[in-house]
Structure 1
Amino acid sequence: MIAPAPVRVLLAEDQVLVRDSFKVLIDATPGLVTVGEAGTGTEAVFLARQRRPDVVLMDVRMPGMDGIEATRRICAHPGTAGVRVLILTTFDLDEYVYAALRAGASGFLIKSATATELLAAIRVVASGEALLAPTVTRRLITEFVRRPERAPAVRALDGVTPREREVLTLIGGGMSNAEIAEHLHLTVGTVKTHIGHLLTKLNARDRAQLVIAAYEAGLVTTSR
Structure 2
Amino acid sequence: MGDPVKVLVVDDHAMFRVGVKAELQSAAAGAVVDVVAEAADVDEAVARIAETAPDVVLLDVHLPGGGGVEVMRRVHAAMPGGAPRFLALSVSDAAEDVIGTIRGGARGYVTKTITGPELVDAIRRVADGDAVFSPRLAGFVLDAFAGSIQVAAVDEDLDRLTEREREVMRLIARGYAYKEVAKELFISTKTVETHMSSVLRKLQLSSRHELTKWASDRRLL
TM-score, with structure 2 as normaliser: 0.60
1:87 aligned counterpart, secondary structure: strand
Unaligned runs of 5+ in 1: 152-224
Q: CA deviation at 1:26?
A: 2.2
Q: CA deviation at 1:67?
A: 1.1
What's the RMSD between the two structures over aligned residues?
A: 2.4
Q: Which residue of 2 aligns with 1:150?
A: 152
**1:5 matched to 2:3:** yes
Aligned pairs (5 A) from 1:78-97:
78=79, 81-90=82-91, 92-97=93-98
2:8 aligned counterpart, secondary structure: strand
Unaligned runs of 5+ in 2: 154-221
Structure 1 distance, partners of 2:12, 2:86, is 16
Structure 2 distance, partners of 1:53, 1:5, is 12
Structure 2 distance, partners of 1:62, 1:149, is 21
Structure 1 distance, partners of 2:47, 2:13, is 19
2:86 aligned counterpart, secondary structure: strand
Structure 2 distance, partners of 1:36, 1:70, is 15
Judge conservation of contact 1:75–1:103 (CA < 8 Å) in 2. no
Structure 2 distance, partners of 1:77, 1:48, is 11
In structure 2, relative to structure 1, the CA distance for the partners of 1:109 and 1:4 (3 Å cut) is same
After superposition, the C-alpha distances for 1:189-217 in whole angstroms (9 at most, x for unaligned) are xxxxxxxxxxxxxxxxxxxxxxxxxxxxx
After superposition, the C-alpha distances for 1:1-23 in whole angstroms (9 at most, x for unaligned) are xx722110001011111100111
Q: Which of 9, 12, 15 is the equivalent residue of 1:14? A: 12
Q: Which residue of 1 aligns with 2:36?
A: 35
Q: CA deviation at 1:91?
A: 5.2
Aligned length: 149
Structure 1 distance, partners of 2:3, 2:36, is 13
